Amino acid sequence: MVKLKLKVVPGARRDEIAGWLGDALKVRVSAPPEKGKANAAVIALLAARLGVPERDVHLVSGAGAPRKTVEIDGVTPDDLRRIL
């Protein structure tokens, strides 16, 4: 399991991982920041990029904020650095 800090930008033109912003990974999603849509899009994007099921990506803090922390099961820190 790995913890990952995120800086999320909802309402973007497309879903993408924009790169590192300090110690956080910047993620852009096209979903709006309402009713958990952006959070669901972030989870789906990370799961697809890391090759894990969505159920293995858990939002642990920042549900209503741009700065979030997720835990990802089935991925090591080395896997994370190599893939992202």
- What pLDDT does 63 receive? 95
CA distances (Å), 11 to each of 1, 2, 55, 71, in order? 29, 27, 24, 23
Q: Which CATH superfamily is domain 2-83 in?
A: YggU-like (3.30.1200.10)
The residues spanned by each domain of the chain are 2-83
C-beta separation of 78 from 2 below 8 A = no
Assign 68 a pLDDT band (cuts: 50, 70, 90).
very high
- What pLDDT does 64 receive? 94
Q: pLDDT tens, 8-67? A: 999 999 999 999 999 999 999 999 999 999 999 999 999 999 999 999 999 999 999 999
pTM of the model: 0.94
- What pLDDT does 34 receive? 94
